Structure 1
Amino acid sequence: MSLLVLVRHGQSVSNLQNVFTGSLDVALTPKGEEEAQETAAKLRGFHFDTAFCSDMLRARRTLDIMLRQLGQADIPTHYNAALNERYYGDLQGLNKAATVQQYGQEQVDQWRRSYDVAPPGGESLHQTQDRVVAYYEQAIVPPLRHGQHVLVVAHGNSLRALRMYLEHFSAEHVKGLEIPTGGARVYELDSALHIKEMRDL
């Protein structure tokens, strides 16, 4: 049996400021560092063979805190931009509430939550999923097939895209999927990588 654990990074400076972050490379807040520690505490007793991570600062810092807290800082770690947050294009750096005032809630919800509609100049969730799933199949599936326990630290939308793929969510269902900062999803997989059990921590 293999184990896959997906973790969203802790609260970032942009999360706190309520702005569209996307590819902006921002740091964790003190609360975000605490969330990483709290998530690691929930994973105490888990042993990971390898870890995969976005190459963005907020995800890298979350992974570093978690592995140190777990006493597993020496495991192989792989950083790749394929796991980075969805690119929000022209919305990046804009305050979310102000954007709603300018464009309306319905339009902003469509940009943020829909599967196929991209924000102006940015990526749709579908496009994000294409790169995330390609990397998952190429890099993460092989150790899982060998029965390894794998930790993945990434972002709200890159993880929404991966969870949609893993759990066979419809485009309608994924609109309502919210992953909190520091949130962890655990999958127990059989030898064919079918999900035997899944749960949030």
Structure 2
Amino acid sequence: MFVTLVRHTESAGNASGLIDTSVPGPHLTARGQAQADKLAVELTGNKFDGAYASNMVRTQQTGAPTATRHHLAINVQPGFREIEAGIYEGTPEAAAMGGYLTAPIKWLSGDLNARIPGSIDGHEFDARFDQALATVQRSGSKRPVIFSHGGTIMFWSMMNASNADPGKLRSDPMRNGGHVVLKGSPKKGWKIIEWVGNPDLG
């Protein structure tokens, strides 16, 4: 499989500067919708055979233009949702590294028991994403595009790819509209073949 994980474009939550991991969550801003339209053009050359999004409205809105260009319907998989912020819900995104992401950073060093207060631990996060991806594989899709979230994409990729570089969490984080392409399978494992953390979408 060649799996393309795409972070949603700018949402009202991003524009506010506050963490919002609620479901269904905020819609895209006007800028985010324009970014989604541009993203669809940039992804045109890919031979996607399946389109998926989380159960959060911003991923579905981001994916709609790309899915339309590839004549695909978006399949909603809750397992691709953002990592719940727990007690950090509504706190500034700028402070995430010292709060919301403290436990996920520990997951990268193998401490999957670390739990975000009021939320999930690494085992739960990894399992639910894996289950959603297994559903994609069972559908027969070999080149799916999955519209998800920055934290989910970065941490799952870094936890599961054999060539992951955790340093990218700080040097090249996944910004709105960024994407990661992984090659492999749930059984054999994964390798990152492309990481675009800072796309030029305006």
Q: TM-score range by the shorter chain?
A: 0.7 to 0.9
Tell me the matched-pair count: 188
TM-score, normalised relative to structure 2: 0.76
1:27-58: CA deviations, max 9, x gaps? 11122112212222221222321111101100
- Quote the RMSD (CA, aligned, Å): 3.2
Which residue in 1 is equivalent to 2:175?
180
**Does structure 1 retain, via aligned residues, the 8 Å contact 2:78–2:132?**
no
SS in 2 for 1:37: helix
> Residues 178 and 147 of structure 1: is their aligned pair in 2 closer, same or farther, counting only changes over 3 Å?
same
> Residues 37 and 125 of structure 1: is their aligned pair in 2 closer, same or farther, counting only changes over 3 Å?
farther
SS in 1 for 2:41: helix
Which residue in 1 is equivalent to 2:138?
142
CA–CA distance in 1 between the matches of 2:26 and 2:37?
Answer: 19
Could you tell me which of 79, 89, 102 is aligned with 1:110?
102
CA–CA distance in 2 between the matches of 1:197 and 1:170?
Answer: 7
SS in 2 for 1:51: strand
SS in 2 for 1:44: coil
**Does structure 2 retain, via aligned residues, the 8 Å contact 1:125–1:161?**
no
Structure 2 residue 127 is the aligned partner of structure 1 residue 133: no
**Does structure 2 retain, via aligned residues, the 8 Å contact 1:20–1:88?**
yes
CA–CA distance in 2 between the matches of 1:108 and 1:47?
Answer: 36
CA–CA distance in 1 between the matches of 2:73 and 2:39?
Answer: 20
Structure 2 residues not aligned, in runs of 5+:
197-202
TM-score, normalised relative to structure 1: 0.76
Structure 1 residues not aligned, in runs of 5+:
none
CA–CA distance in 1 between the matches of 2:195 and 2:10?
Answer: 18
Which residue in 2 is equivalent to 1:31?
31
Which residue in 2 is equivalent to 1:43?
43
CA–CA distance in 2 between the matches of 1:172 and 1:45?
Answer: 29
CA–CA distance in 2 between the matches of 1:22 and 1:167?
Answer: 25
SS in 1 for 2:51: strand
The structure with more radius of gyration:
1
Greater relative contact order structure (CA < 8 Å, 6+ sep): 1
> Residues 79 and 200 of structure 1: is their aligned pair in 2 closer, same or farther, counting only changes over 3 Å?
same
Percent of residue pairs bearing the same amino acid type = 19
